[in-house]
Amino acid sequence: MTEPVDERPAERSPEAEKAAPSRRKLLGWGGAGLALGAVAAGGTATAMRSGDTAPADADAAAGAAVPFHGAHQAGIATAVQDRLHFAAFDVTTDDREALISLLKEWTKAAAAMTAGDAVGDGAVGGLAEAPPDDTGEALGLPPSRLTLTFGVGPTLFAKDGKDRFGIKDRRPDALIDLPQFPGDNLDKARSGGDLCVQACADDPQVAVHAIRNLARIGFGKVAIRWSQLGFGKTSSTTPGAQTPRNMFGFKDGTENVAGDDPKSLEAHVWVPTSEAKGDAAWLAGGSYLVARRIRMHIETWDRTSLKEQEDVFGRDKAEGAPAGRTHERDAAHLPSMLPTAHVRLAHPDSNGGIRILRRGYSFTDGTDGLGRLDAGLFFLAYQRDVRHGFVPLQRKLARHDALNEYIQHVGSAVFAVPPGVRDTADWWGRALFTSA
């Protein structure tokens, strides 16, 4: 297997930095480096288009670039990276053309950063009198499988009844305002947003750099409304890889829509052309994202017996096997679980076949002032229609889940996620803002 090689020596003189402002170049590959990165990640020729499949042994290829262009946006079905920086933005301009030009600029910057290159003319080597185009903290770092996934929230279409950008009629029916669920304790300051960008990478500095540079490009047109850092992915789209564990110590992501299962992706994740009709046709091949900041009361959990912990989920802690079974991947036998067990309630057999693609991360944001960790799960789930995905699942979980004693939903947002950026002439949101 060929690994991408950084052409630059570990230590570089300031002169050398000036001569090569680009963040990183793949040795002798140029544009083809992206495709080779996908192959190095265990993908096939068809896997080179972003979002199409999750390379089976992607973890082995940490550092490679994930292709930005393709039928679907990367960061959904592609292999889950280790770190997250998620940002929700408010659009602060009312000027439609200014917003469109920002989205074009963002797309260009996103394509560069995901390839491991710097934004614009780079962080160094430009005019000494002007601030550099790139903030610089990712200089010398590999692409780290950075993916940037873009979405639009309900308030972009109309806010306080006002059609700010002439797209009110293009709001898809499925982009509903999420209902209030029992037990919700939502903080408005950590909810909603006109736009979102999910940055995932194997290096937190690369993810943070990406959001920071997008926010900087958007100065005067958008402002970050809230953001969330995440670590320790709590789901997997690559069933061959070891399942990660969540903050309660349980394997999380065992039963998930796999990135290399196109049939399930079509059935449960991508918006089909038949559903994206009329004014919502711009979303065909896209998806819907629900983001929930879920606080986990880990101090209470840590005083709970192992037996009760396992009963709460309906799976054992060591192996992750479903109750009454031996191995993690054994089929669940739902009657062996308590009626309130999380897995029993969330299982497709209990919900008319509903499946969602979970892509969440753990978070720990210091302490809450009462000596408890402000920790939990930043839940991210992609689906083709939230009305037949997250909403019915969460209605049931909010009422009956034994887990509710140990968790609380404190932030919430929903976004329509457009299909992939097809080529260098395409841009985030093009189909939404143009009639073609």
Give the binding site for ligand HEM (CB under 6 A): 246, 248, 250-255, 294, 296, 313, 315, 332, 342-343, 346-348, 356, 377, 379, 390, 393-394, 397, 407
**CB of 300 vs ligand HEM, minimal distance in Å:** 13
Q: Closest separation between CB of residue 332 and ligand HEM, Å?
A: 5
Instruction: Encode burial over 6-28: b for 16+ CB neighbours within 10 A, e otherwise.
Output: eebeeeeeeeebeebbbbbbbee
| Rounded to 5°, angle at Cα 347 from 388 and 228 | 70
Residue number, 63 or 314, with CB nearest to ligand HEM: 314
**Cβ 393 to ligand HEM shortest distance, Å:** 4
In angstroms, the Cα distances linking 335 to 150, 318, 322, 350 are 40, 21, 11, 11
CB of 160 to ligand HEM, least distance (A): 29
Cβ atoms of residues 172 and 392 within 8 Å? no
Taking the least distance from each CB to ligand HEM, the nearer of 284 and 398 is: 398
**115 vs 356, beta carbon nearer ligand HEM:** 356
Q: How far is the CB of 152 from ligand HEM (least distance, A)?
A: 22
Minimal distance, residue 327 CB to ligand HEM, in Å:
13
| Choice between 80 and 346, CB closer to ligand HEM | 346
Instruction: Report helix, strand or coil for 205.
Output: helix
Please say which residue, 210 or 258, places its beta carbon nearer to ligand HEM: 258
Which C-beta is closer to ligand HEM: that of 83 or that of 358? 358
From the list 99, 275, 46, the residue with the least C-alpha distance to 55 is 46
Minimum distance from residue 377 beta carbon to ligand HEM (Å): 4
User: Torsions phi, psi of 172, nearest 5?
Assistant: -70, 145
Q: Tell me the one-letter amino acid at 263.
A: K
Residues 6 or more apart from 264 whose CB is under 8 A from it? Answer: 257, 258, 355
CB of 433 to ligand HEM, least distance (A): 32
Residue with Cβ nearer ligand HEM (36 or 410): 410
Using alpha carbons only, give the angle 294, 383, 58 rounded to the nearest 5 degrees.
Answer: 85
Q: CB-wise, 156 or 174, nearer to ligand HEM?
A: 174
Contact 232, 204 (CB under 8 A): no
Residue 149 has phi, psi (to 5 degrees) of: -120, 130
Nearer to ligand HEM, 87 or 296 (CB): 296
133/227 Cα distance (integer angstroms): 23
Residue pointed to by tokens 């320790």:
232
We find the least distance from the C-beta atom of residue 376 to ligand HEM, in angstroms, to be 6
Task: Tell me how many helices (H) and strands (E) the chain has.
Answer: 11, 9
Q: Which of 280, 248, 210 is nearest to 375 (CA)?
A: 248
Phi/psi at 380 (5° precision): -125, 125
Q: Which of 360, 383, 428, 433 is nearest to 196 (CA)?
A: 428
Considering beta carbons, is residue 28 or 335 the nearer one to ligand HEM? 335
Minimum CB distance to ligand HEM, residue 107 (Å): 31
Closest approach of ligand HEM to the CB of residue 406, in Å: 8
Q: Which is nearer to ligand HEM, 250 or 288 (CB)?
A: 250
Backbone φ and ψ of 153, nearest 5°: -90, 165
CA–CA distance, 11 with 219 (Å, rounded to integer): 33
Specify the DSSP class assigned to residue 352.
Answer: T
